[in-house]
Structure 1
Amino acid sequence: MADWITGIVKSRTQWSDSLFSIVVDAKVEPFQAGQFTKLAWHTPEKKVARAYSYVNAPGKDCEFYIITIREGQLTPYLSQLKVGDEILVQPTATGFLTLDEVPPGRDLWLMATGTGVGPFVSLLAQGDCWQHFENIVLVHGVRFATELGYRERIQTLTQDRPHFHYVPFVSREAEAGAEPGRITAAVNSGHLEQRVGLEFSAEHSRVMICGNPEMVRDTLAELKLKGLAKHLRRKPGQILMENYW
Structure 2
Amino acid sequence: MSKWVTGKIIKNKFWTNSLFSLIIKAPIKTFIAGQYAKLSLKINGERIQRAYSYVNPPSSNNLEFYFVIIPNGKLSSNLAKLQYGDRLQITYEANGSFILKEIPKCQNLWMLSTGTAIGPFLSILQDGNDLVRFKNIILLHAVRHQKDLVFLPLMNKLKQNLEGKLHIVTVVSREVCKNSLHGRIPSLIKNSELENTVGIQLSSKTCHVMLCGNPEMVKNTRELLENNYNMKKHFRGNQGNISNEQYW
- TM superposition score category, shorter chain reference: over 0.9
CA deviations 1:33-86 (Å, max 9, x no partner) are 110001111157321110000000003111000111121111111011112211
For 2:43 and 2:210, locate their aligned partners in 1 and report how far apart those are by CA, in whole Å: 37
8 Å Cα contact 1:115/1:244 also seen in 2:
no
8 Å Cα contact 1:9/1:22 also seen in 2:
yes
Larger displacement relative to structure 2 (166-175 or 6-15): 6-15
Gaps of 5+ in 1: none
8 Å Cα contact 1:10/1:24 also seen in 2:
yes
- Give how far 1:2 is off: 4.1
Q: 1:169 aligns with which of 152, 168, 171?
A: 171
- Give how far 1:111 is off: 0.2
8 Å Cα contact 2:172/2:182 also seen in 1:
yes
8 Å Cα contact 2:207/2:241 also seen in 1:
yes
Partner of 2:240: 237
Partner of 2:218: 216
Partner of 1:41: 41
Query: Normalised by the size of structure 1, how large is the TM-score?
Result: 0.96
> In the superposition, relative to structure 1, how do residues 11 and 99 fare at CA in structure 2: closer, same or farther (>3 Å)?
same
Alignment of 1:45-124 (within 5 A): 45-60=45-60, 61-124=62-125
CA deviations 1:74-117 (Å, max 9, x no partner) are 11110111122111111110011100110010000000000110
For 1:15 and 1:132, locate their aligned partners in 2 and report how far apart those are by CA, in whole Å: 34
Secondary structure of the 1:199 match is coil
Query: Normalised by the size of structure 2, how large is the TM-score?
Result: 0.95
For 1:214 and 1:59, locate their aligned partners in 2 and report how far apart those are by CA, in whole Å: 33
8 Å Cα contact 1:210/1:244 also seen in 2:
no
Q: 2:231 is matched by which residue type in structure 1?
A: L
Partner of 2:190: 188
Aligned-residue identity in percent: 38
8 Å Cα contact 1:123/1:129 also seen in 2:
no
